Amino acid sequence: MMTTRQDGDSWDLASGVGVTATMAAMTRAIASREGDALIEDPFAAPLVEAVGIELLTRLATGEQPPGDLVGRAAIDGAKARTRFYDEFFLDATAVGIRQVVILAAGLDSRAYRLPWPAGTVVYEVDRPRVVEFKTRTLAGLGAEPTAQRTAVAADLRDDWPAALSAAGFDPAVPTAWSAEGLLGYLPPEAQDRMLDTVTELSAPGSRVATESRPGNEEVKEGLDRVSARWRAHGFDFDHAAQRYLGQRNEAAAYLAARGWVLTGVSVRELFAAHGFSLDGDDLGMSEVRYVSGTKAAEVLSRSTRSSPPPGVPARPRRVV
Ligand SMILES: C[S@@+](CC[C@H](N)C(=O)[O-])C[C@H]1O[C@@H](n2cnc3c(N)ncnc32)[C@H](O)[C@@H]1O
């Protein structure tokens, strides 16, 4: 595995991995300004502005056009991705799920903008300085959560289930979990541990959504090209250095082997469905699959943590 990351490293929204959350929000701000129905995130621009990285603020507020820094594929990608997760949560609540966990929430504002049914509890898990910043900034803007929002300050490489449980999470009721834009920032073994834990904490009928792509060295070249472009505009941020590159288990197959029944759609398919073009896709996004699904009725025991449950073939089921 290749990374400059270290166990226990930390960040805020203007440093290290935190910058990726600010950049994701900046892209949502640009996408939201285009005024189509796929995305409307009114909190993205003010949140980015509050982080205070000048170039990102100018892009988020529209003072500077995206130009070659935030290409068409990135903007459309933010629309398609945001819509995918929005629909995932709306579908989950439509079938009666009232407990939601957004893993690595970053500057995601779903807890403030989606029409959650009464009684929905949304736990947002991220590093302490990230969740504290968002809570404080949105309160300062007068934003009110549209669900019962609970911020959980924890590291997803550590004992986050203890923090989630202390915050009031109930493993006995079905949960809708998302891990959006997260997996590549976790060491491969921490990704497996996290997906194991999600499985253990999921009552039957729980749902999960995330992205799935096989480990791929080519990603580094794309990330380096993106970093070089930002550097030319005076923003020195090494995208590849934030990731754990190299091989890892593919999330969809891993979850399927642990009792989740998933469906998936590739970015290529999503783009085609929305009429978007993948030209200028530096990061090879077309390979990524957005997957979501439901935990099968049987509850898996702890002893199945590192091996598939009885009856599940050694080769993971193909996700359809
Ligand atoms: C690319 S951002 C995505 C944020 C958000 N999900 C979105 O789509 O806008 C990655 C997020 O993962 C969080 N993250 C990465 N590693 C983490 C860890 N070990 N523990 C907690 N959060 C982590 C970062 O703080 C950041 O908010």
Give pLDDT tens digits for 214-238.
655 567 888 999 999 999 999 999 9
Q: For residue 222, what pLDDT is reported?
A: 86
Q: Considering the domain boundaries, does residue 51 fall inside one?
A: no
Determine if ligand 1 sits within 6 Å of the CB of residue 300.
no
Distance 102 CA to ligand 1 centre (A): 10
Which is nearest to 266 in space by CA: 255, 254, 250, 242? Answer: 250
Ligand 1 in reach of 26 Cβ (< 6 A): no
Predicted pLDDT of residue 296: 85
Does residue 151 have its Cβ closer than 6 Å to ligand 1?
Answer: no
Distance 281 CA to ligand 1 centre (A): 22
Predicted pLDDT of residue 216: 53
Cα-to-chain-centroid distance, residue 216: 19
Distance 272 CA to ligand 1 centre (A): 28
Please give the distance, rounded to the nearest whole angstrom, from the Cα atom of residue 126 to the centre of ligand 1. Answer: 6
Q: What pTM did the predictor assign?
A: 0.92
Query: Could you tell me the pLDDT band of residue 297, with boundaries at 50, 70 and 90?
Result: confident
When comparing pLDDT for 215 and 44, which is higher?
Answer: 44
Per-residue model confidence (pLDDT) at position 215: 59
Instruction: Say what the alpha-carbon torsion angle 305, 263, 185, 281 is, to the nearest 10 degrees.
Output: 160
| CB of residue 38 inside a 6 A radius of ligand 1 | no
pLDDT in tens, 55-87: 999 999 999 999 989 999 999 999 999 999 999
Is the C-beta atom of 88 inside 6 A of ligand 1? no
Q: Would the CB of 21 count as within 6 Å of ligand 1?
A: yes
Which atom of ligand 1 is found nearest the CA of 178? 6
CATH number for the domain spanning 241: value is: 3.40.50.150
pLDDT bin (cut points 50, 70, 90) of residue 166 is: very high
- What percent of the chain stands above pLDDT 90? 79
Per the domain annotation, does 174 fall within a domain? Answer: yes
Helix residue spans in 34-146 (DSSP H)? 44-51, 54-61, 72-94, 110-113, 128-140
- Centre of ligand 1 to C-alpha 213, Å, is 17
Structure tokens at 183: 């997996």
Indicate whether 38 belongs to any domain: no
Is residue 219 a part of any domain in this protein?
yes
Q: How confident is the model at residue 311 (pLDDT cuts 50, 70, 90)?
A: very low
Q: Using the mean position of ligand 1's atoms as its centre, give its distance from the Cα of residue 106 in Å.
A: 5
Strands 99-103 and 175-179, sheet pairing:
parallel
Is the CB–ligand 1 distance for residue 155 below 6 Å? Answer: yes
Residue 179 domain boundaries: 72-295
Ligand 1 contact, 193 CB (< 6 A): no
SS3 assignment, position 21: helix
What mean pLDDT do residues 128-147 have?
98
Q: How much is the ipTM here?
A: 0.99
pLDDT at 22: 98
pLDDT of the residue at 287:
81
pLDDT for position 69: 93
pLDDT at 309 (0 to 100): 37
- For residue 40, pLDDT over 50 is answered with yes
Q: What is the pLDDT of residue 307?
A: 42
CA of 162 to the centre of ligand 1 (A): 19
Q: Would the pLDDT of 280 be above 80?
A: no
Structure tokens given for 21: 């959350």
pLDDT of residue 8: 83
pLDDT in tens, 168-203: 999 999 999 999 999 999 999 999 999 999 999 999
In percent, the amount of the chain with pLDDT more than 70 equals 90
More confident residue, 220 or 102: 102
Q: Is residue 136 part of a domain?
A: yes
How does residue 3 score in pLDDT terms, banded at 50, 70 and 90? low
d(CA 119, CA 205): 18
**213 located within any domain:** yes
Average pLDDT, the chain: 90
Cβ of 126 below 6 Å from ligand 1: yes
In a domain, 115, yes or no: yes
Ligand 1 and 108: CB distance under 6 A: yes
- The mean pLDDT of 234-253, rounded to a whole number, is 92
Domain count, the chain: 1
CB of 152 closer than 6 A to ligand 1? Answer: no
pLDDT band at residue 304 under the 50/70/90 scheme: very low
For ligand 1, atom 14, the nearest C-alpha belongs to: 104
Nearest ligand 1 atom to the CA of 81 is: 8
In a domain, 224, yes or no: yes
Our answer on whether the CB atom of 175 is closer than 6 Å to any ligand 1 atom is no
For residue 119, the tally of other CB atoms under 10 A from its CB is: 10
